[in-house]
A and B are shown apart, each in its own frame.
Chain A
Amino acid sequence: GAGVSQSPRYKVAKRGQDVALRCDPISGHVSLFWYQQALGQGPEFLTYFQNEAQLDKSGLPSDRFFAERPEGSVSTLKIQRTQQEDSAVYLCASSLSSLRGSYTEAFFGQGTRLTVV
């Protein structure tokens, strides 16, 4: 596709429910990132994939959060037993490469707004 696509755009979950958020990166992009943006805050890093390998998951807030990218393309962020504090916009971004020593522009999707009630 032309850009990073995320689905669903909006998700309302009851507390305790499991949710799965999908990200379709730009075709051919090696790097994929997930960010969490709470209301009134900037995006915060959750996890990073280089192809199918999850190289950095230091930002995942708890073991209820799990991300995968099994074939190095589409990624899913799963949140188990959702809590009210999980309410946020979840942003996915992808970039063409991941060479250390140089910056490669990351393109963001529109995000999934998760509301836990």
Chain B
Amino acid sequence: DQQVKQNSPSLSVQEGRISILNCDYTNSMFDYFLWYKKYPAEGPTFLISISSIKDKNEDGRFTVFLNKSAKHLSLHIVPSQPGDSAVYFCAASAVWEYGNKLVFGAGTILRVKS
């Protein structure tokens, strides 16, 4: 039973345009959400996060939106750059559990074309 789902395996965007990556979750106990970026042969690196008490968090070109009622979050990248090409993982955590373990989606491959 996948608790975190990324339904788009891949996304291709033109440089300078907006990239929108989507994520859905099923577990109501999740209260912290993160996006990780992964390049080949490297470990995931933290990109941006959002607590369930917020509906938006912005960091430079990256914005994460959370819709709790729909159990949906999205990552917006504006403007997209070729260096953003990577695999993006959505992850969720229940901060009242020990250790804050992460539950990941399957990832979305983003290709930004120049």
In Å, the complex CA distance between A43 and B91 comes to 9
A76: Cβ under 8 A from any B Cβ: no
B32: Cβ under 8 A from any A Cβ: yes
Within 8 Å by CB of B105, from A42, A50, A95, lies A42
Task: List, in ascending order, chain B residues with CB within 8 A of A104's CB.
Answer: 100
Size band of the interface chain A makes with B: 20 to 34
In Å, the complex CA distance between A9 and B51 comes to 34
Q: A44-B104, A48-B101, A56-B101 are in contact. Are A100 and B43 (CB under 8 A)?
A: no
Task: List, in ascending order, chain B residues with CB within 8 A of A43's CB.
Answer: 44, 89, 102, 104
The majority secondary structure among interface residues of chain A is: loop
Q: 1/0 contact trace for B52-78 toward A, CB 8 Å?
A: 000000000000000000000000000
Q: Is the CB of B98 within 8 A of A48?
A: yes
A106: Cβ under 8 A from any B Cβ: yes
Q: A42-B89, A103-B32 are in contact. Are A31 and B99 (CB under 8 A)?
A: yes
Interface centre among B91, B98, B101, B102 (most CB of A within 10 A): B101
Within 8 Å by CB of A105, from B43, B46, B106, B107, lies B46
B12: Cβ under 8 A from any A Cβ: no
Interface centre among A59, A100, A109, A110 (most CB of B within 10 A): A100
In Å, the complex CA distance between A91 and B14 comes to 32
**What is B's interface to A at a CB cutoff of 8 Å?**
4, 6, 32, 36, 41-46, 49, 51, 89, 91, 93, 95-107
